[in-house]
């Protein structure tokens, strides 16, 4: 990974972007794709759309979307008690089992407020049963409700205060890899398609609010009505001790992009991506997704009648924790896969099943 791409990935991951509060992260993404897009725009909710216009004389050339979602899971200030402790609610699928004892940042209007999610000392615990998010509290050092309210207000978003760690040359750990790595891949695949040249009109999209229902994807799909969509998200890598590997497909870090099969995933788009991977000698993994994908593809594929959609997953250990881990070789190969697919999209049309 060259330095500009690496710097872009690091900045994306270190910019807080919880669902419903994605504007800071979206600005980072926009600033990057604006260097090689013909146009970049946003809609009323902050979905970001970059476009490379196809060749004007290429009759019938397709319109292709490469996309990932900008938002990450987190918390929200739900209430403040009389002693100044902050009670929190979920933003997306936040896991209480890894939330206790974490440093967090409350993103208030006047600037960040640092705090910690409390945890009983091991000496004082009597009940080790599962904790709900609603049972947790944040200590910001305030001694009263009024003192706390001077610094923050109800509805402020909260993220865990972790940063990016490079565990090795290609193994990257951090919070929110789900799914800024997807928006990175969409941007890089878009850049490669632009530099290679293509008759197709290609969109790179960074959506909002995937973690709370795939809302941004439905907005963009309705707006653009493309011929095909490739959604980059993360999938469960189970190559670690005691992983419940029987619950998912056998993905591993460093094994290459994972192509989804079943349900939302469109057979013609799947075949096109696999053929590109074979020609470029990119190793791929297969992810069985028989009852929906749990990604933006489920929002795109019916947003405007029927949009052929396909998920490409980045293998990811420890999803929805502050210590997600990926291999950037997989990520770079996904960007290559997307770039070649978009540059040759007219070879694969029409995207339709044979009946």
Quickly count: other Cβ atoms within 10 Å of residue 247's Cβ: 8
Q: Quote the CA–CA distance of 213 and 273 in Å, as a whole number.
A: 26
pLDDT score of 60: 80
Q: What is the mean pLDDT of each run of 10 residues along the chain (355 residues)?
A: 95 97 98 98 98 83 97 98 97 94 97 96 80 93 98 98 94 97 98 96 98 97 96 98 92 98 98 98 97 97 96 98 98 98 95 93
pLDDT score of 199: 94
Q: 209 in the Ramachandran plot: left (φ > 0), alpha (ψ -120 to 50) or beta?
A: left
pLDDT score of 284: 98
pLDDT score of 2: 92
Q: What is the pTM of this model?
A: 0.96
> Which of 175, 188, 161, 40 minimizes the C-alpha distance to 106?
161
Q: Which residues are catalytic?
A: 210
∠ CA 30-162-17 to the nearest 5 degrees? 30
């Amino acid at each position: 990974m060259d330095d500009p791409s690496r710097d872009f990935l690091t900045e994306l991951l270190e910019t807080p972007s919880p669902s419903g509060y994605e504007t800071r992260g979206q600005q980072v993404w926009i600033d990057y794709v604006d260097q090689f897009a013909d146009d970049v725009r946003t809609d009323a909710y902050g979905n970001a759309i970059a476009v490379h216009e196809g060749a004007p004389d290429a009759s019938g050339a397709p319109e292709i979307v490469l996309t990932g979602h900008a938002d990450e899971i987190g918390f929200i200030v739900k209430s403040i008690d009389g002693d100044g402790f902050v009670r929190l609610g979920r933003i997306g699928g936040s896991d209480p089992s890894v939330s206790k004892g974490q440093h967090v940042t409350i993103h208030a209007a006047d600037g960040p407020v640092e705090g910690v999610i409390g945890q009983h000392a091991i000496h004082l615990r009597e009940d080790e049963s599962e904790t709900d998010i609603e049972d947790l509290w944040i200590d910001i050092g305030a001694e009263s409700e009024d003192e706390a309210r001077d610094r923050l207000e109800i509805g402020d978003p909260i993220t865990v205060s972790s940063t990016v760690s490079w565990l090795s040359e290609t193994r990257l750990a951090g919070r929110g890899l789900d799914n800024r790595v997807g928006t990175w891949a969409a941007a890089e695949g878009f850049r490669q398609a632009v530099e290679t040249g293509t008759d197709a009109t290609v969109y790179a999209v960074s959506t909002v609010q995937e973690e709370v229902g795939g809302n941004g994807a439905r907005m963009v799909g309705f707006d653009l009505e493309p011929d095909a969509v490739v959604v980059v998200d993360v999938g469960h890598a189970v190559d670690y001790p005691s992983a419940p590997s029987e619950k998912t497909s056998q993905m591993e870090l460093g094994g290459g992009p994972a192509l989804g099969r079943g349900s939302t995933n469109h057979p013609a788009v799947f075949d096109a991506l696999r053929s590109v991977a074979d020609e470029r000698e990119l190793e791929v993994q297969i992810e069985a997704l028989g009852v929906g994908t749990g990604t933006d593809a489920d929002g795109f594929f019916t947003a405007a009648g029927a949009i052929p959609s396909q998920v490409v997953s980045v293998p990811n250990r420890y999803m929805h924790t502050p210590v997600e881990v990926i291999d950037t070789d997989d990520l770079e190969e996904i960007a290559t896969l997307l770039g070649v697919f978009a540059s040759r999209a007219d070879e694969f049309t029409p995207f339709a099943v044979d009946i």
